[in-house]
Chain A
């Protein structure tokens, strides 16, 4: 089992991003995904900066992947996507079918991110035929479905040629909209959002009226409030054919989480329970927000 670091889904100042990747260059992760995946207004790092950062990180010995945007609407977003597909020094992660098309046209191999809808082996097979090397399972799917997909992919004869990655830690990306909810919360229009996302390095909490955590607003993206955590599932994942567990960056203590996962993978330290504020329901075929403790699972 390998570990990956997903793209930063929030909007951080340039210095924070650079410091973060400097730290991650020596952290126990095998794969690093980077790039803007949520909003094209976030320009602390421009496309060229991400390309340069990717090239630098390749030097560090990590396997680097450039992630692309999940919802592509504007002409300028297509242009930026083209630039990445034409110039990437490394593999590209497609998060919209536009990227799949552009990469397939160029005969370039690619990874599909969690917002590409692959719910069965037939869909996976089509994308494999177009150059898919690795896929990240959509977050709402469960372990049994994943096992079935990989079994079917084995029957179809291509499972050994692809890698499977599972979003395993962090707030879950749940939805994308034309509307910017962070700007809306500040009573600003999206076209004059004043880059409010910079104020919320882990997104903006959205709670129910009786005070329960529910979602996290992150610009045009809506995330879970609870942090998904599948650290305890790594052996089962390995058994069903998962190759990589993804950790999604957060503003504080990403390194601590990476180390905790790395330790768990050596078999020596699994937490005895998951704390409140985390969730793991999706993996067990339950509502995503649920938190099942280990005694309920085994």
Chain B
């Protein structure tokens, strides 16, 4: 399986390449990509440097143009596609049908991957994108169990990439508006979820409180680890009980599923985290490279080592990991 690694900056890209990425995915410095955070991502000059560095080491570059343009922004998305094409990147990761059509009509030789934000969870949906736009690969949303992944892989007309590690979206990507309901930005519209501009922290007599645009997301007592107030990971009250009603602060970690994912024919593993530091990228890419190589050398004897899992836990949200939807009992 190909190892597809995140980079939000040139230093992150370099450590991803140096530690064994087969491909690195990046975004431009605007709302055309789903990690539109301040100080992150690549302008044209940095993107060229990224490409040069990756090429010199035989590593591919994918560019994510995976948010949904509204009419007022259309030219920016079109420009992003043209920029990526003129850079000569290895593929575009796209969600919107209009952008897919523009890219396939204007740059027919540029390979297209359907972004996880395209929200295709079954072979029929994938067939639509294959038939219409000739996509070569799709990234599956993090909502399928391993059996369901197997079924999609058996019937998909295109190669599949799945998330292996990182921050866990528990909603079907591309169809979650929780963030724009509370703030004015969502992944689809602005490439942001629970945006930092709306986050406020306060020490109160009830404990340390995190709020998103005034809405109380969580409250921490002394000694509790306070996490970033992502909407779906706060503690809320349902029928008198206060708990993580949607999900705990946790990261996806599927090291142990490498044999099964390989066996069902998954072609690439994606690591999440373009917003994370070069140190995070280095750690995670290195572990995954070792794990994939170890599996390749000895498929039958493969087992994740304690070192690997500890290294990944250390950089995980809330220092805990889960198999997420791959494991039926999580659902």
Contacts and interface: CB of A to CB of B under 8 A. Distances in A.
A181 B181 contact: no
A119 B101 contact: no
A214 interface: yes
A164 interface: no
Contacts of B160: none
27 contacts: A75-B151, A78-B122, A78-B124, A97-B129, A117-B188, A119-B189, A122-B101, A126-B101, A138-B188, A141-B70, A175-B172, A175-B175, A175-B232, A177-B170, A178-B143, A179-B246, A189-B329, A191-B328, A191-B329, A206-B238, A208-B236, A212-B215, A214-B182, A217-B238, A287-B180, A287-B184, A289-B181
Interface in B224-281: 232, 235-239, 241-242, 245-247
Interface in B155-185: 170-172, 174-178, 180-184
A21 interface: no
A119 B172 contact: no
A208 B188 contact: no
Interface in A98-141: 98-102, 104, 115, 117-123, 125-127, 130, 138-141
B97 A145 contact: no
Interface string A155-182: 0000000000000000010111111110
B269 to A, nearest CB: 19
B16 to A, nearest CB: 29
Contact of A212 (B172, B216, B245): B216
Interface of B: 68-72, 74, 95-99, 101-102, 119-122, 124-125, 127-129, 131-132, 142-145, 148, 151, 170-172, 174-178, 180-184, 186, 188-189, 213, 215-219, 232, 235-239, 241-242, 245-247, 325, 328-331
Contact of B120 (A97, A127, A130, A138): A97
B15 to A, nearest CB: 32
B215 A208 contact: yes
A291 B149 CA distance: 41
A289 B99 CA distance: 29
A297 interface: no
A208 B180 contact: no
Interface stretch (A12-20, A46-54, A65-73, A237-245): A65-73
B238 A185 contact: yes
A214 B236 contact: yes
Contact of A71 (B102, B175, B178): B175
Interface in A203-228: 204-212, 214-215, 217, 222, 224
B105 to A, nearest CB: 10
B118 to A, nearest CB: 8
B245 A185 contact: yes
A165 B144 CA distance: 31
A97 B245 contact: no
A288 B215 CA distance: 13
Contacts of A181: 245-246
B215 A285 contact: no
A287 B236 CA distance: 20
B331 A120 contact: no
Nearest to A151: B71
Contact of A122 (B102, B125, B145, B329): B102
B128 A287 contact: no
A44 interface: no
A240 to B, nearest CB: 13
Contact of B128 (A100, A185, A206, A210): A100
B67 to A, nearest CB: 9
A71 B245 contact: no
B70 A74 contact: no
A74 B174 contact: no
B143 A127 contact: no
Contact of B143 (A73, A185, A206, A211): A73
A280 B213 CA distance: 17
Contacts of B328: 189-191
Given A119-B68, A123-B98, A175 B176 contact: yes
Given A181-B245, A206-B236, A70 B97 contact: no
Nearest to B149: A73
A233 interface: no
A78 B188 CA distance: 26
B144 to A, nearest CB: 6
Given A174-B176, A287-B181, A121 B242 contact: no
A83 interface: no
B93 to A, nearest CB: 15
B97 A122 contact: yes
Given A175-B176, A204-B238, 11 more contacts: A74-B151, A96-B121, A97-B128, A98-B124, A101-B125, A127-B97, A140-B181, A206-B236, A222-B171, A222-B178, A282-B181
